[in-house]
Amino acid sequence: MPGRRNPLLTFLFAALILLFTGGPVALALYGSLVPDRILLDPNRSVLSEGPSLESYRYVFTGELPASYRQASANRAMISDAARQVPQSLVNSSIIALSAMLLNMLLGAPAAFIYARHAFPGKKLSFMFLILSPLVPAIALVTPIYMMLEGLGLTGTRIGIILVHTAKALPFTVLILSVFFRKMPQELFEAAVLDHCSRLQAFLRVALPLALPSIGATGLFAFMLSYSEFMFSMVLSGDAATRPVSVVMAALARNTDVSWSLLNTAIFIAIVPTLVLVVLVWRFVVEGLLNGSVKG
Amino acid sequence: MWTTQRFPAIWLLPALLPVALMTIYPIAYALWTSMHSVLLLFPDTPFTGIDNYVRVVKSGYFLDALYNSLLFTAIAAPLVVVLGTLTALFLQRRFLGSKIVRSIVLLPWVLPGAISAVLWIWVFHPSFGVLNGTLRALGAIDGSIPWLTSPKLALISVVVAHVWTQIPFAVVLIMAALSAINSETLEAAAIDCRSPARRFRHVILPEIKPMIVVLLIYNALAAFTTYDLVYAMTGGGPGTATTLLSFQIWKESFSMYDFGTGSAVAFIVVAISAVMILAITRALPSDLFEGD
């Protein structure tokens, strides 16, 4: 974007955005490195004892932090749920990646047809898609649980993947159709002149141009699945299938659990996802946008 | 625009079928439940017509919860869209560290609602909270401001936390829409329009308007049906200051075990959401929903 820039103003805006979006997460990082007794004492800070990685060691190896091994320590402050975090990250990644891929595969053709074609039943089926997420999920938990129970899919990752895919699909189609609509009509007219079939026009013209947008919407499906709690909780079984949101909620609702341990779990849960989101956003979405569309 | 006489089933069914599977039967079931008396302790489920709906509307919490939900949505949804758009416009610039800022903005996205609540309690906590601590250190206040326990402040606090969780998605979508604008359009605009504000209004805004409408609808729905974040932060209190209508679905169903009444609340929420979507698409017409 052209125009004059005031470096001070830019810096100020950037600092504000960083403070608002990153601030609470920075607090979690701080809390995870400092034992509770320092955290809750207004007169002491991380400087009085230096950072400690005890909580991190407990989550990965099960070795109790020294401060909780004393005779007077409150054992309720240590929760087994924290030890489930690494496995739950694996579960969440499998579930969310599957939901993301399914959304891109199933959603893109439908979005293309809605954006570029007129056909009987278009309005009705589109309205169905748009209006289907209206019903609050809480009201649907019981019937969906019974339905998946009948199919033998409760307590498995597949059941959760199915629900998350269906939850994100209406938004995937809606958002992608906005992008397909914005493509210049001449491109498709040229494709027709070249005797491209509908499938060829989709695969050779629309899809390559829309890849960044498809990446961005796929990311949306990923995040929706990763942070979804209710269905994950009802449909997951033991610790082997439990996703991150369920484990974290169990930790957060345990009022005894140590702040430091909770913050450690939060931070461990954030980092791999953040890395993935940033990689997809940076290399897939931005890379493609700068390369193919604009150039 | 191509015209086809047949319904393009091969293209559409992969997307429509999973959605239909997860909506048609469950919604029908919930609708049936809302018109019967379904209580966990009684095996009989007699037909009660609209009794459940009448009970909800006449209940003590209904007007308060409806007011809170509407207020919450009316503040949160536009705020997310405006802040998201401003942030996205700003992040289009390249400056030292702009890539880092772009990544940090995505942070709130990766957190489940229950966790975001924990982080924000940490900020707003009256005695250990960072906000009060900072204000105290700056000498702005003496005691502590009851962010989560005074009715007005509690609503503001939960709106802030909710907006925080929704910002990244708004930024990502608006940035994607901004990047999809034809660069020739932007170059022409740079020559024709000197002031950035007018350039935004006359050139950029029309281009990203469909996306803004989609975002506004999504956020209105998200705000109107949210319950976990707000509940985890305040438990609906103080008093009924942050009791939201959507939370009552959960409360009736899973804490009172009155599934009939819970479903009735759910369909009241559906009806209001539908009106809201209609109002948004009327107020901000875009070619998105035209059959053309």
Q: What is the pLDDT of residue A160?
A: 92
- Amino acid (1-letter code) at residue A274: L
Cβ of A27 within 8 Å of Cβ of B25? The answer is no
Range of the domain at B124: 67-243
Q: Are B25 and A143 in contact (CB < 8 Å)?
A: yes
Query: Measured between alpha carbons, how far is A94 from A123 in angstroms, rounded to an integer?
Result: 35
Q: What is the CATH number of the domain that holds B221?
A: 1.10.3720.10
A249: nearest CA partner in chain B: B114
pLDDT of residue A288: 54
The answer to whether residue B219 sits within a structural domain is: yes
Is A252 in contact with B263 (Cβ distance < 8 A)? no
Closest CA to A122 of B20, B12, B21, B18: B12
Distances (CA, A) of A247 to A33, A79, A253, B116, B177: 21, 11, 10, 14, 35
Contact between residue A244 and residue A92 where contact means Cβ atoms under 8 Å apart: yes
Chain A contact present for B268, CB below 8 A: no
Say if B156 falls within a structural domain.
yes
The CA distance from A66 to the nearest CA of chain B, in Å, is 24
- Encoded amino acid at A200, one letter: Q
- The answer as to whether B47 is a domain residue is no
Judge whether A226 and A96 are in contact, CB under 8 Å. yes
A249: chain B residues, CB-CB within 8 Å: 112, 114-115
B133:A273 CB<8 A: no
Least Cα separation, residue A246 to chain B (angstroms): 9
Q: Do A113 and B12 touch (CB under 8 A)?
A: yes
Any A CB within 8 A of B287 CB: yes
Q: Pairing state of beta strands A117-118 and B2-3?
A: parallel
Residue in chain A lying closest to B258 (CA): A139
Q: Is there a contact between A141 and A160 (Cβ–Cβ < 8 Å)?
A: no
HSE at residue A8, side-chain half, CA atoms within 13 A, is 0
Which tokens in the block code for residue A9?
A: 């103003």
**Optimal mutation site among A134, A144, A261, A289, interface B, most CBs of chain B within 10 A:** A134
Chains A & B: contacts with CB separation below 8 Å: 288
Tell me which chain A residues have a C-beta less than 8 angstroms from the C-beta of B27: 135, 140
Nearest partner of B123 among B110, B109, B108, judged by Cα: B108
According to CATH, the superfamily of the domain at A82-293 is MetI-like (1.10.3720.10)
Residues on chain B touching A227 (C-beta within 8 angstroms): 109-113
**What are B117-145's pLDDT values in tens digits?**
888 888 888 777 788 888 888 877 777 78
One-letter amino acid at B136 equals R
Query: Contact A245/B114, CB-based, under 8 Å?
Result: yes
In A, which residues are within 8 Å of B172 by CB distance?
216, 219-220, 281, 285
Inter-chain CB proximity A248 and B115 less than 8 Å: yes
Q: Is residue B26 assigned to a domain? A: no
Low-confidence ranges of chain A (pLDDT < 70): 1-5, 36-51, 62-81, 255-256, 283-295
A198 close to B2: Cβ distance less than 8 angstroms: yes
Q: Is residue B35 part of a domain?
A: no
C-alpha pair distances (Å), B231 with each of A48, A134, B7 = 36, 21, 45
By the 8 A CB rule, do A81 and A59 touch?
Answer: no
pLDDT at site A67 = 63
Q: Do A125 and B232 touch (CB under 8 A)?
A: no
A contact test, residue of B16, B178, B199, B281 with most A CBs within 10 A: B16
- In chain B, what residues touch A27 (CB-CB under 8 Å)? 119, 122-123, 130
User: Minimal Cα–Cα distance from A230 to chain B, Å?
Assistant: 9
Q: Who among B232, B266, B273 is closest to A139 (CB)?
A: B266
How far is the C-alpha of A26 from the C-alpha of A18, rounded, in Å?
Answer: 10
The residue assigned the tokens 């013209």 is A205
B-chain CB neighbours of A117 within 8 Å are 1-4, 8
ipTM of the complex: 0.77
Q: How far is A68 from chain B (nearest CA, A)?
A: 22
- What HEC string does B204-235 produce? HHHHHHHHHHHHHHHHHHHHHHCCHHHHHHHC
CB contact under 8 A, A118 and B4: yes
Q: Measured between CB atoms, which of A121, A212, A227 is closest to B7?
A: A121
C-alpha B99/C-alpha A284 separation (Å) is: 15
Predicted pLDDT at B125: 81
**Segment B27-67, tens digit of pLDDT:** 888 888 888 887 777 777 788 878 888 888 888 788 888 89
- Residues B149-165: b if buried by 16+ CB within 10 A, e if exposed: eeeebbbebbbbbbbbb
To the question of pTM greater than 0.95 for the whole model, the response is: no
The alpha-helical segments, DSSP class H, found in chain B are 9-34, 51-58, 62-91, 98-104, 113-124, 130-137, 151-179, 183-192, 196-199, 205-225, 228-234, 245-250, 259-283
The structural domains of chain A, with segments of one domain joined by +, span: 7-81, 82-293
Which residues of chain B have a CB within 8 Å of the CB of A144? Answer: 22, 26
| Strand ranges (E), chain A | 117-118
Interface with chain A: mutation pick from B115, B249, B267, highest number of A CBs within 10 Å? B115
On chain A, the residues whose CB falls within 8 A of the CB of B269 are 136
Q: Is B208 inside a domain boundary? A: yes
Alpha-carbon distance A69 to nearest alpha carbon in chain B (angstroms):
25
Q: Provide the number of structural domains found in chain B.
A: 1
Contact B109, A223 (CB under 8 A): yes
pLDDT string in tens for chain B (292-residue length): 677 777 888 888 888 888 988 888 888 888 888 888 877 777 777 888 788 888 888 887 888 888 989 999 999 999 999 999 999 988 887 777 777 888 888 888 777 777 788 888 888 887 777 888 888 888 777 777 888 888 888 888 999 999 999 998 898 888 878 877 777 777 787 787 777 788 888 888 888 888 888 888 889 888 888 877 888 788 777 878 888 888 888 888 777 788 888 888 888 888 888 888 888 877 777 665 554 4
The partner residue sitting opposite A110, judged by closest CB among B12, B107, B269, is B12
N-terminal to C-terminal alpha carbon distance within chain B: 9
Q: Which is nearest to A286 in space by CA: A204, A206, A202, A219?
A: A219
